[in-house]
Amino acid sequence: MLFNSVEFIFLFFPIVFLAYVYLSKRQPGWAIAWLSLASLFFYSWWDISNLPILLISIAFNFYIGKSINERRGASKRQALNILRLGIVLNLLALGYYKYAHFLANEGFRLFDVALSVPHIELPIGISFFTFTQIAFLVDTYRGEVDECNSVHYSLFVGYFPHLIAGPILHHKEMMPQFKNVVIPSVFSDDFRNGMSIFLIGLAKKLLIADSLGNYANYFFNGVASGGTPTFFDSATGVLAYTFQLYFDFSGYSDMAVGISLMLGIRLPINFNSPYKAKNVIDFWRRWHITLSRFLRDYLYIALGGNRNGATRRYLNLFITMLLGGLWHGAGWTFLLWGALHGIFLAINHFWRHLTGRFAMLGKASSAISWIYVPLTFISVVLAWIAFRAASLADFYSVLRGVCGLNGFTLPSQIVAIIPKASSWIEGRGVVPLLADGTVMGFVELIILLLIVSCVTWCFKNSNDMSTNRRLLVAVMLAPLLIQKIFFGGDVEFLYFQF
> Which of the listed ranges 107-116, 242-251, 468-477 does the model predict with the highest average pLDDT?
242-251
> Nearest CA to 32 among 357, 263, 320?
263
| CA 452/CA 458 separation, integer angstroms | 10
Can you tell me the distance from the alpha carbon of 229 to that of 233, in angstroms, rounded to the nearest whole number? 6
The dihedral region occupied by 448, where left means phi > 0, alpha psi between -120 and 50, and beta the remainder, is: alpha
What's the mean pLDDT in 478-484? 79
- With bands split at pLDDT 50, 70 and 90, how would you rate the model's confidence at 121? confident
- Supply the pLDDT for residue 432: 52
Using the predicted structure, report yes or no on whether residue 209 has a pLDDT greater than 60.
yes
Helix (H, G, I), strand (E, B) or coil at 141: helix
Helix H or strand E encompassing 332 = helix 332-357
- The H-assigned helical ranges of 73-149 are 76-110, 126-141
Q: Is the dihedral of CA 245, 250, 253, 259 positive or negative?
A: negative
**Per-residue pLDDT averaged across 298-325, rounded?**
90
| pTM for the model | 0.91
Q: pLDDT value at position 475?
A: 76
Query: How many Cα atoms sit within 13 Å of 398 on the Cβ side?
Result: 33
In the chain, domain spans: 6-183, 192-497
Which of 328, 341, 349, 353 is catalytic? The answer is 328
The neighbour count for residue 495, using CB atoms within 10 Å, is 19
Residue 215 near residue 173, CB atoms below 8 Å: no
What does pLDDT average to over the chain? Answer: 86
Q: What is the pLDDT of residues 219-246, one digit of tens each?
A: 899 899 888 888 888 998 999 999 999 9
DSSP, residue by residue, 400-427: HHHTTTT--PPPHHHHHHSGGGGGTSSS
Q: Let me know: does 282 contact 345? Beta carbons within 8 Å.
A: no
The CA distance from 407 to 401, in Å, is: 7
**Which of 441, 343, 337 minimizes the C-alpha distance to 389?**
337
What is the pLDDT at residue 298? 92
Tell me what pLDDT residue 439 has.
Answer: 47
Annotation marks residue 328 as catalytic: yes
pLDDT band at 43 (very low <50, low <70, confident <90, very high): very high
Whether 30 and 178 have beta carbons less than 8 Å apart is answered as no
| Residue 368 or 278, more confident | 278
Instruction: Give the rounded distance of the alpha carbon of 230 from its chain centre.
Output: 29
Contacts of 81 (CB under 8 A, 6+ apart): none
- The span from the CA of 284 to the CA of 165, in Å, is 18
Q: 22: which residues sit within 8 A by CB, 6+ positions away?
A: none
Q: Dihedral sign, CA of 306, 310, 316, 317?
A: positive
Whether cis (ω within 30° of 0) applies to the bond prior to 274 is no
Q: Which of 94-103, 185-194, 359-368 has the lowest mean pLDDT?
A: 359-368
